[in-house]
């Protein structure tokens, strides 16, 4: 993937750490058989999560933030 594009994605997510958190969280959901929100030819959960983000289907939800139209990926802050 083009690094320039990654910078653009990070800006869309509010920073590189937020983008990383979003993609990791969503990838874990996909691995656990959560429904995929976009049509894709790949079975790579990270690529699927990126495709969903690019399509505006997912976003990172902060604690206390009101829900929006796009499904949010809630970050799990509890220790396992």
* Average model confidence (pLDDT) across the chain: 83
CA distance 61 to 34: 17
CATH code, residues 3-74: 3.90.940
| pLDDT tens digits for range 30-45 | 999 999 999 999 999 9
Q: With a threshold of 0.75, does the pTM exceed it? A: no
CA distance 2 to 12: 16
The set of residues, in sequence order, having a beta carbon less than 8 Å from that of 38 and lying 6+ positions away, is 48, 51, 52, 55, 57
Q: Write down the number of H helices and E strands in the chain.
A: 3, 2
């Amino acid at each position: 993937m083009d690094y320039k594009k990654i910078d653009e994605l990070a800006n869309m997510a509010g920073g590189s750490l937020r983008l990383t958190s979003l993609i990791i969280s969503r990838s874990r959901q996909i691995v656990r058989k959560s429904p995929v929100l976009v049509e894709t030819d790949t079975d790579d959960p990270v690529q699927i999560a990126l495709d969903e983000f690019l399509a505006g289907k997912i976003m990172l939800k902060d604690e206390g933030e009101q829900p929006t139209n796009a499904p949010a990926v809630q970050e799990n802050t509890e220790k396992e």
